[in-house]
Structure 1
Amino acid sequence: MLRTQIVKLTRAPIRSFSVAAIRPAEGDTGGVRSGGSATSREAASENKFIREREMETLRQLKEKLKAQRKHLDDLDAHITDLESQKGGEQN
């Protein structure tokens, strides 16, 4: 076993050291590639913003609908009062 360890240590790969910096290829701008994590993060953020805005719009519409329903109920009650005062007579 000692022999196999010595053999493995002596066969260690030789690493060459380079002083040249990695240069971008022609046309590279250094930006994030399409489909990268930043793009999907942005898309998720936009989707969340749109959902929240739609939920706010729905909430406002429901409030308007509730107010209109109350107004219609008040008008029905008023009509009923007028009919009862008149004695239920209709022309």
Structure 2
Amino acid sequence: MPANKKYLSTPFQRFLKITAGFVGGYIVMLSFHVLVTHIFEKKDVVATACLTGYLLWAILLLLAFLARNGWKIWGIYLLLAAIFSLPYFFKM
């Protein structure tokens, strides 16, 4: 039985969600860990970033597919990445 058309997104929206999940989620994950390095010592963050980075990226990937609009999730991810990166840019 085929899926109901009202629940399917357009191919371009699907592309936006896929790229937001993979690329945008990765950017948010990296910027979040940059923020955490300003709070804790670098050696502690690097030790735990392998596990927490993968988990955070997987959650952000899933959240991108749950969103209705690909542009909106890209905007949210870029805004989060900018907010998380502010301490790094102001440190310089």
Larger C-alpha radius of gyration, 1 or 2?
A: 1
TM-score by length of 1: 0.30
Which structure's residues are more often helix, by fraction? 2
TM-score by length of 2: 0.30
Identify which of structures 1 and 2 has the higher relative contact order when contacts are C-alpha pairs closer than 8 Å and 6+ apart.
2
